[in-house]
Amino acid sequence: MKKIIINFLLVFLVLSVFAVDWPQPSADLSAFRTQFASSRQSSLSAGVVYANPENVKTVDAGELIFISGESKSLGQFDSPLGNTVIIVNEENLLNIYGNMDSISVKTYQTSVLENEIIGKSGKSGWKGMDSGLEFQVADTMQQTLINPFILFSKPSGIQLPALGNVVAVGKNGIFYDLSFAKLLPSDMYYLYCDKNDMHFPFRVTVFVNGKEVENIRYDMLNLKANRLSLNSKNDYIFEEIFPDSNRHLISSVVLNKGKTVVMVKIFDINGNERTFSYSFEVR
C-alpha cells in the first residue's frame, strides 16, 4: 500500500472517504478561488483552492502519512503544494491539505480524528498561491483525482452561466461564431465557449444531428501518460481544453456536408441543465 501511495504522489503532486463537511467553510462558490479541473497556469487544477486563509480541519479520520517535508513513509519529499498534510482514510482515499501556512499536528502522531484542527491555510505552495487551502482527494488504486464537490455538501441553486460566444475553430484556425454563422466548410472543429472560472460546468454533452459526440465530465481527473486528463469520450491535452485565457473547450466535432444541428447541454453540480442549439449548413 505504501509503495502505491509513493508512486501516486510523485506523479500527481508534481502535476499539480466520504466525509460530512469541508475542511474550511464553503457555503457557496465564492468560497473558492479555483475549482476542480479548471485551468491552473499550464495544467488542470487537481483540487479546489479556497479564496481565503482559515483554520483547516480534517474531513475524515485516518492514518497520518505525510506532514510537509517530514513524512512517515515518503522520506524527505518536498511538496509542490507547500506545507502539506496527507491522510489516508479507511476507504484508501487520500485527503490532501496543501498550501498550509502552519501545521498543528505533531510529527509523532500516527492518526487524526474527523473534524480535528490540523493547522491554518496560507500561501506556502510553489505555484505562488496567495489564497487559502488547496484541497485534493485522490484514489490511489484507480489513479484518479476526485472532484470534492461529489463527496461533500453542494452549493444551492442554479450555478450555470449562459453559454456565451460559442465558436467553431477549424484546422485552418478560422473562427466561426455559431450564433451567426449559416455556412461552414466540411472539416473537423473544436467548439469553444467563453471561459468562466466562477461558474464552472460539471458536465457538458454535445450532439450533432441527434448523435452524441462528446460527454465531458468534471467529476474526476485520470492519469494518462504522466498527465492529467478529463473524464470524456475523447482525450484532450491542456492546450486544447484551455487554448488561451478566454476560451474553454466544449467538444471536438467532425462536420460533414448537409444541414447540421449542434446541440449543447450543460449541467451544474446540482443537476441543473441548460440546452443550446445551433443550426447551419455544411458544404
Domain extent, residue 137, equals 2-150
Same domain, 180 and 277: yes
> How many other CB atoms sit within 10 Å of the CB of residue 278?
18
Q: Residue 235: which H helix or E strand, with range?
A: none
CATH number for position 109: 2.70.70.10
**Mean pLDDT for each 10-residue chunk of the chain (283 residues)?**
48 44 84 89 88 92 83 46 89 92 88 94 62 89 90 79 87 94 96 88 95 95 82 90 94 96 93 94 96
Q: Return the pLDDT at 69.
A: 53
Q: Return the pLDDT at 19.
A: 38
Same domain, 200 and 267: yes
159 within a domain of the structure (yes/no): no
Q: Is 256 exposed, middle or buried (0-12, 13-18, 19+ CB in 10 A)?
A: exposed
| CA 275 to each of CA 32, 84, 190, 205: distance values in angstroms, whole numbers, following the listed order | 26, 41, 19, 10
* Nearest alpha carbon to residue 22 among 50, 43, 3: 50
262 within a domain of the structure (yes/no): yes
Same domain, 43 and 121: yes
For 242, the grid coordinates are 484551455
Q: Quote the number of domains for the chain.
A: 2
pTM: 0.83
* Region of residue 90 (left: phi > 0; alpha: psi -120 to 50; beta: else): alpha
Q: Return the pLDDT at 29.
A: 82
